[in-house]
A and B are shown apart, each in its own frame.
Chain A
Amino acid sequence: MEPVLSRVLIIDLSTKTYRIKDRNPLFSERLGGAGVAIRLLNEFCPPAADPLGPENPIILAIGTLTALFPLASKCVAMFKSPLTGNLGESHAGGRTAVTMRMAEYGAIVITGRSEKPVYLSITSTEVSFHDARTLWGMARGDTVARVIRSFEGIPGNRTILRIGRAGERMVRYAAVTTETYRHFGRMGLGAVFGSKHLKAVVISGEGSIPVTDGKQYRALYDRLFDQVTKSPLMKKYHDIGTPNNILPLMALGSLPTKNLTASKLENGENLSGEEFASRFLSRRVACSHCPVSCIHIAQIRTPYPHDPYFFKTTPVCYDYELIYALGFMVGVSDP
């Protein structure tokens, strides 16, 4: 594998074709991530493009440090937003960024529209287009991932981006889910997937990245690794997680409440990160190459009303954003 990012994969869903371009100068100048993605959006998205039209491209891009150093685990998606009609930028963790790097792509561009539902399987050398009609309309996203997983990729070294029914129906703020608990949540990327009849994208790869000076590389890695695992720097995300913000923001009276009509919610402390941790937290999970493990998963045990001694246990991933949006904004203080 080349030591620096340079390959861009361009996929056309209308013609079911793809090509791999060497764009080394682009990555040299913009490094990667949002800088590269915005340039590619400028190239591929025509002025006055309909956000839900085939001409709106989906750009995925990663940064230079991904798969080399810990915490560089985010992938950026850039597109024209069906929600605002303006720039759509959305970031997600999971395993998307690392697997893109392991498949040796700095960026992936998806254009056009498939006539029928498809999912894409991407490796370092090829893209295959698969019939996804059977998966279209499926209620549970984890089922979609399970089905795809049984055919595609390398266990542990793959990512599965997928949309649900909202994306299929082009709800303008629909999300794209990756690795069940991480999402391209903002600006309606899910609707853009849906408009292209793109149900899912699986990427897998397991390359290695040469470095000029292995000794220095390891020394710098260790410095970063120690900082994020042994110092208090990431403690907030590691311990309570992003809901750590709830109590301080409540104290400041700056938590958006009741659809922005209030700044205080009675019994709002029931929704604090500390309360969630003590009552519901069951597991913690991490994105690939991030030892912090800020993903907090609650277990909710629900009895079936007409069937005694029969329970459903549901894992629910929670974060500050969900608690404020579905708790404080709606005016619900009972978790």
Chain B
Amino acid sequence: MSTHRLAVIDMDRCVGCQSCMFACNRRHGSGGLARTAIHISSVGGIERGFSVRVCRACRDPPCADACPNTALLKREGGGVKLNPKLCTGCKSCIDACLIQAVSWDTEKNLLIICIYCGICAKYCPYQVIELQDIKTVI
């Protein structure tokens, strides 16, 4: 099981290019944005800067507790792992995530959960986000 998580290093360096979003979607071998687990949007207009919404791998994740069907397994060290076969699409986990880091693929009607692979960080030209080893940060 992966022992990594994503960390936001310096949001002030984000230029809003959304390369991370396209990178996350490309994991599935398609273009566009429907399946991204990371979201960049402006903080009240581009003139005010940007914010990132991505799973921060809570040590005690509320999304997992909210799932009535144990589709979200708590990961050792923090975060969750999705078992798509058990997900009924009730979206309780989406409501439970305070930072709106659980996403929904409106095209395929599927839950999107970050797998902490770090492809988004790899494509960020400005080192805004970073993949960290949970063991070294906690």
Q: B35 contacts which of A157, A208, A217, A285 (Cβ < 8 Å)?
A: A208
Q: B19 contacts which of A156, A157, A211, A289 (Cβ < 8 Å)?
A: A289
Interface residues in B25-50 (C-beta closer than 8 Å to A): 25-26, 28-35, 39-42, 44-47, 49
- Which residues of A have CB within 8 Å of B22? 67, 70, 289
- A207–B18 Cα gap in the complex (Å)? 15
B-contact 0/1 string along A87-98, CB 8 Å cutoff: 000000000001
Q: Nearest chain A CB to B105's CB is how many angstroms away?
A: 8
Does residue B109 face the partner (Cβ distance < 8 Å to A)?
A: no
B17 near A155 with CB under 8 A, answer no
- A122–B116 Cα gap in the complex (Å)? 34
Does residue A221 face the partner (Cβ distance < 8 Å to B)?
A: yes
B17 near A288 with CB under 8 A, answer yes
User: How many B residues are at the interface, by size bracket?
Assistant: 20 to 34
| Binding stretch for chain B, among A33-41, A141-149, A191-199 | A141-149
A208 near B42 with CB under 8 A, answer no
- A290–B31 Cα gap in the complex (Å)? 14
Q: Nearest chain B CB to A98's CB is how many angstroms away?
A: 8
User: Which residue of chain B has its CB nearest to the CB of A314?
Assistant: B47
Known: A102-B32, A214-B29. 11 other contacts (CB 8 A): A98-B33, A156-B21, A207-B32, A208-B33, A208-B107, A209-B30, A217-B29, A218-B29, A284-B15, A289-B19, A295-B15
* Interchain residue pairs with CB less than 8 A apart (7): A68-B32, A181-B46, A210-B30, A214-B30, A225-B123, A283-B49, A292-B17
B41 near A208 with CB under 8 A, answer no
- A208–B107 Cα gap in the complex (Å)? 8
Q: Nearest chain B CB to A143's CB is how many angstroms away?
A: 10
User: How many A residues are at the interface, by size bracket?
Assistant: 35 or more
B-contact 0/1 string along A178-220, CB 8 Å cutoff: 0111000000000000000000000000111111001101100
A156 near B107 with CB under 8 A, answer no
B41 near A155 with CB under 8 A, answer yes
B34 near A208 with CB under 8 A, answer yes
Does residue B16 face the partner (Cβ distance < 8 Å to A)?
A: yes
Chain A residues close to B by CB (< 8 Å) = 1, 67-70, 98, 101-102, 142, 145-146, 149, 155-157, 179-181, 206-211, 214-215, 217-218, 221, 225, 229, 283-293, 295, 297, 315
Does residue B136 face the partner (Cβ distance < 8 Å to A)?
A: no
Q: Nearest chain B CB to A119's CB is how many angstroms away?
A: 17
User: Which residue of chain A has its CB nearest to the CB of B52?
Assistant: A156
Q: Nearest chain A CB to B136's CB is how many angstroms away?
A: 27
B33 near A211 with CB under 8 A, answer no
Interface centre among B28, B47, B106, B107 (most CB of A within 10 A): B47
Report, nearest first, the 7 A-B pairs whose CB atoms are least far apart: A214-B29, A156-B41, A286-B17, A208-B34, A209-B31, A155-B41, A293-B15
Does residue B89 face the partner (Cβ distance < 8 Å to A)?
A: no
Known: A1-B107, A155-B41, A180-B45. A286 touches B31 (CB 8 A): no
B31 near A68 with CB under 8 A, answer yes
- A174–B31 Cα gap in the complex (Å)? 35
- A315–B41 Cα gap in the complex (Å)? 19
B41 near A287 with CB under 8 A, answer no
Interface residues in B101-135 (C-beta closer than 8 Å to A): 106-107, 123, 125-126
- A98–B22 Cα gap in the complex (Å)? 11
B28 near A179 with CB under 8 A, answer no
B29 near A289 with CB under 8 A, answer no
Q: A208 contacts which of B17, B18, B32 (Cβ < 8 Å)?
A: B32
